[in-house]
Amino acid sequence: MTSVSDPISEIEDAAMRELAVISDATQLEAWRLSYLGRKGKLTRILRGLADLPLEQRRSLGAEANRIKLRLETAHREKLARFEQDRVAQVTEGERLDVTLPGPPLPRGGLHPITRTLQDVLRVFESMGFQVAEGPEIEWDYYNFEALRIPADHPARDMWDTLWIDCEREGRRSMLLRTHTSPNQIRIMERTQPPIRVVVPGKCYRFEATDPTHEWMMTQVEGLAIDDGISMADLKGTLAEFARRIFGEERKVAFRCDYFPFVEPGMELRIDCFICRGAGCRTCGRTGWIEILGAGMVHPEIIANAGYDPDRYTGFAFGLGIERIALLRHGVDDIRHFYANDLRFLQQF
């Protein structure tokens, strides 16, 4: 009996002795191979068990397995110690001043208006709106007439216009669009309901600039037409937009407003996030900030598009990206956006 068990305990003692003096990973691996490897001493004994009688196989097998477990554990511990030592050594030998900067990569970036526009469009896209675009230089027809703002209509004063020097039948007929609303007509001309579209783009006004006015601006027009769209849906859509852009805790309020191409017309306001409704300079002491104009598409415009005005209703809205960017970033002067001062742009 001892003839078999003796070598096995000797193996254990020898292995542990050898292991104690091993000082690097290569030696450790050689040790592992010589005892635990495929042709290792312990492995060979375990493999030879099959030839022994059952009684011996049991006792010797249990002993061999115990030793195997012990050697494996000891190996794992030693290995872990080596790993730790190595990390410590590298830090010791090749220590870096981690506070130094990396070599510079060129730092580009998108304009804050581009970024804000993207965020706004993303909100509407997630509500099923598609993005379309239209011309910046427009016919009077699309910019005004088809929107129920004929020549000599007093509402024309709401949009001071830059006209292209070109006359048709003795009248100026081409202009820099004053809003993105002409796209309502353009979209209705080429599509049938259901419609859900947002149209971003630049607009232009004959306007003296000041901290809150700029003659070039970026707007987003929205249009949704279907059987069963109501003002409640418009309110829901705009409230969702306001919360996603300005924060979940924002309160929204609607008031009646007038645009010739909607009926009823409205304005969306959010509670001032600077003074939280108490009244400050940003909100003009009202506690509310005007965000956008909207309304139900005028039934005459629905009918002009060839849709059944008794069946189809819809809403439209128009919002100014500069204003939203101003509010989000706390910019105090709208003229910063197109003045292209590097020190301004680099902050975004």
Partner 1 sequence: MRIPLRWLADYVDLMLPTEELARRLTTAGVEVGAIISSAGDWAGVTVAEVVDIKPHPDAERLVLVAVRLGDDRTQTVVCGAPNVAVGQRVAFGPVGTRYINGHTGERTILKKVKIRGVESAGMIMSEKELGISDEHEGIRVLPEDAPVGEPLASILGETIFDLDLTPNRPDLLSVLGVAREVAALSGSKVRDPSIVYEATGEPIRGRAQVDVLDRELCPRYVAALVEGVKIAESPAWMQQRLIAAGMRPINNVVDITNYVMLEMGQPLHAFDFAGLKDRRIVVRRARRGESLRLLDGMDRELSPEMLVIADGDDAVGVAGVMGGAESEVTEETKTVLLESANFRATSIRRTRQALKVETDASKRFEKGLSVHLPPIAAERAVKLMVEICGGRAAQGLIDITSGKPKDVRVTLTQERLQRVLGVELPSGEVRRVLEGLGFGCRWVPPDRFIVRVPYWRTDVSIADDVVEEIARIVGYDELPTTRLRGEIPPAQRQPMRELRERVRHALAASGLREVITYSLTDLPTLQKVLPPEDLATSPPLRIANPMSREFEYARTTLRGSILQALAKHIRVSGGHLISVFEAGRVYLRSDNDLPHEIETVCAALSGRKPNRWGQPTGEPAGFFEAKAHLEHVLAGLRVAAEYREAVEHPYLSGRTAEVAIDGRRVGLLGELHPRIAASFEIKQDVAMFELDLEALMPHVPETVHYEPVSPYPSVEEDLAIILDEDIPAGRVIGMIEDSHMVRSVSIFDVYTGPPVPKGKKSLAFSISFQSGAKTLTDEEVAEERRRIVQRLRRELGAELRS
CA pair distance 69, 48, nearest whole angstrom: 18
CA pair distance 337, 31, nearest whole angstrom: 70
Give the distance, in angstroms, between the CA of residue 181 and the centroid of all CA atoms in the same chain: 27
Q: Does 335 participate in binding partner 1 (rule CB under 8 A)?
A: no
Name which of residues 261 to 290 contact Zn ion (CB under 5 A).
Answer: 272, 274-275, 280, 282-283
Query: Which C-beta is closer to partner 1: that of 41 or that of 335?
Result: 335
Q: Does 106 participate in binding partner 1 (rule CB under 8 A)?
A: yes
Question: Residue 20 binds which entry of Zn ion, partner 1, none, with Cβ cut-offs from 5 to 8 Å by kind?
Answer: none
Q: Does 186 participate in binding partner 1 (rule CB under 8 A)?
A: no
Give the distance, in angstroms, between the CA of residue 292 and the centroid of all CA atoms in the same chain: 23
Residue 179 C-beta-side C-alpha neighbours within 13 Å:
25
Q: Which of 255, 281, 308, 347 binds partner 1 (CB under 8 A)?
A: 255
In terms of Cβ atoms closer than 10 Å to its own Cβ (0-12, 13-18, 19+), residue 46 is middle
Q: Does 333 participate in binding partner 1 (rule CB under 8 A)?
A: no
Question: Residue 166 binds which entry of partner 1, Zn ion, none, with Cβ cut-offs from 5 to 8 Å by kind?
Answer: partner 1
Annotated active-site positions, please? Answer: 159, 179, 205, 219, 262, 316
Contact (Cβ atoms closer than 8 angstroms) between residue 223 and residue 296: no
Contacts of 254 by beta carbon, 8 Å cutoff, 6+ apart: 235, 238, 266, 267, 268, 269
Contact (Cβ atoms closer than 8 angstroms) between residue 242 and residue 268: yes
Neighbours of 137 (CB within 10 A): 12
Q: Does 264 participate in binding partner 1 (rule CB under 8 A)?
A: yes
Kindly indicate which of the ranges 11-19, 44-52, 53-61, 123-131 contains the residues binding partner 1, using the contact rule CB under 8 A: 123-131
Q: Does 224 participate in binding Zn ion (rule CB under 5 A)?
A: no
Q: Does 136 participate in binding partner 1 (rule CB under 8 A)?
A: yes
Question: Residue 48 binds which entry of partner 1, Zn ion, none, with Cβ cut-offs from 5 to 8 Å by kind?
Answer: none
Give the distance, in angstroms, between the CA of residue 238 and the centroid of all CA atoms in the same chain: 19
In order of 104, 108, 293, the CA distances from 300 in angstroms are 59, 48, 19
Q: Does 176 participate in binding partner 1 (rule CB under 8 A)?
A: yes
Q: Does 239 participate in binding partner 1 (rule CB under 8 A)?
A: yes
* Smallest separation (angstroms) from partner 1 to the CB of 158: 7
CA pair distance 140, 142, nearest whole angstrom: 6
Q: Which of 23, 130, 212, 347 binds partner 1 (CB under 8 A)?
A: 130
CA pair distance 126, 121, nearest whole angstrom: 9
Question: Residue 330 binds which entry of Zn ion, partner 1, none, with Cβ cut-offs from 5 to 8 Å by kind?
Answer: none
In order of 24, 75, 204, 221, the CA distances from 20 in angstroms are 11, 10, 83, 78
Q: Which of 27, 43, 56, 114 binds partner 1 (CB under 8 A)?
A: 114
Query: Which C-beta is closer to partner 1: that of 1 or that of 342?
Result: 342
Q: Does 7 participate in binding partner 1 (rule CB under 8 A)?
A: no
Query: Which C-beta is closer to partner 1: that of 296 or that of 327?
Result: 296
Burial 312-323 (b: 16+ CB within 10 A, else e): bbbbbbbbbbbb
Q: Does 107 participate in binding partner 1 (rule CB under 8 A)?
A: yes
Q: Does 215 participate in binding partner 1 (rule CB under 8 A)?
A: yes
Q: Does 346 participate in binding partner 1 (rule CB under 8 A)?
A: yes
Question: Residue 254 binds which entry of partner 1, Zn ion, none, with Cβ cut-offs from 5 to 8 Å by kind?
Answer: partner 1
Both structure tokens of 129:
């709106």
Question: Residue 283 binds which entry of Zn ion, partner 1, none, with Cβ cut-offs from 5 to 8 Å by kind?
Answer: Zn ion
Q: Does 101 participate in binding partner 1 (rule CB under 8 A)?
A: yes
